[in-house]
Amino acid sequence: MVLTSIYFIILIYFLSLCNSKYVPKARYATSSVLVKDRLYFIGGLGSSSDCYDDLFQLDISKTFNSTEPPFENIINLPEKICWMTSSMAEGGKNIYIFGGKSSLIYSYDFNTQQLDVPEIDGIAPERRNQFQMVSDNEKESLYIFGGLTSNGTGWFNDMNILDSIYSSWQNMVILGAEQIIIPPYWADFTATMLLTGEIVYIGGRQSASPSGKNITFAKMNEVKLKNFEFIYKI
């Protein structure tokens, strides 16, 4: 009788594990990528000021109860990261993760659920926070602009391009119609790739120098097609 009760308790325990839902911890400074009918989330920062190392997904293929969204934990990253950015690459097969508290760039294949650290030729951009990374329409190249140094005291205004097909870095200048345009030192903006092959940078904060002097908010109404300080054409 005692053994029967123990077996019953063990059965109930395992059934509860099977029926339990994965609920990610509350966080900010995380990153997400939409892949078809899945939203992938990477890392983030919790209330304890400690970064997370998880990579999980949300199935949005069908209507679900918004109070109990069907999250699913996939893998744990080799390190705890936050303040990073992520985007699709390699023809839309992989998710690339760069920046933040990580000193590496990761490539995640969502079909095989494998995480790799690709070997990339060229000079990699300095680690940074509070920036955005976007991919082109063919999802072969990744564009990284601006941001802050990992300690938050230095500002960037450089454009770096990662060719995911040939696995190489390129460090570019931004060109205007007749001359090289020196963009502001910029962080906390939005970056969006248009169907025309232009990247639109809007909002955020700007600095007059790499040391963070004379910080101002970028004006939202200064986005013009002819203004290459705000729009970079591939």
Q: What is the pLDDT of residue 74?
A: 94
Strand arrangement, sheet containing 52-59: 31-35, 38-42, 52-59, 71-81
Higher pLDDT, 67 or 170: 170
- Helix (H) or strand (E) segment spanning residue 202: strand 198-202
Q: Render pLDDT for 191-205 as a digit per residue (tens, 0 to 9).
A: 988 888 888 888 899
- Whole-model pTM? 0.81
Higher pLDDT, 29 or 227: 29
Higher pLDDT, 33 or 175: 33
Least Cα distance to 94 among 6, 164, 151 occurs for 164
Nearest-angstrom CA–CA distance, 39 and 34: 5
Q: What is the pLDDT of residue 231?
A: 55
Residue 184, token pair as written in the block: 């502001």
**Average pLDDT of the residues in 60-77:** 84
Q: What is the pLDDT of residue 229?
A: 44
Q: What is the pLDDT of residue 43?
A: 95
Nearest-angstrom CA–CA distance, 227 and 98: 28
Q: Render pLDDT for 37-46 as a digit per residue (tens, 0 to 9).
A: 899 999 999 9
Quick check: 157 and 131 in contact, CB under 8 A?
no
pLDDT band at 138 (very low <50, low <70, confident <90, very high): confident
For residue 200, CA distances in Å to 7, 101, 188, 194 come to 61, 26, 14, 7
Nearest-angstrom CA–CA distance, 154 and 144: 16
pLDDT band at 6 (very low <50, low <70, confident <90, very high): low
Q: 41 — alpha (psi -120 to 50), left (phi > 0) or beta?
A: beta
CATH top-level class of 24-233: mainly beta
CA 160 centroid distance within chain: 15
- Where does 112-220 have alpha helices with state H? none
Q: What is the pLDDT of residue 174?
A: 58
Q: What is the pLDDT of residue 12?
A: 47
Higher pLDDT, 41 or 221: 41
CA 143 centroid distance within chain: 12
Q: Does residue 67 carry a pLDDT above 80? A: no
In the chain, where are the structural domains located?
24-233
Q: Render pLDDT for 163-192 as a digit per residue (tens, 0 to 9).
A: 999 999 988 765 554 555 678 899 999 898
Q: Does residue 214 carry a pLDDT above 50? A: yes
Nearest-angstrom CA–CA distance, 128 and 108: 20
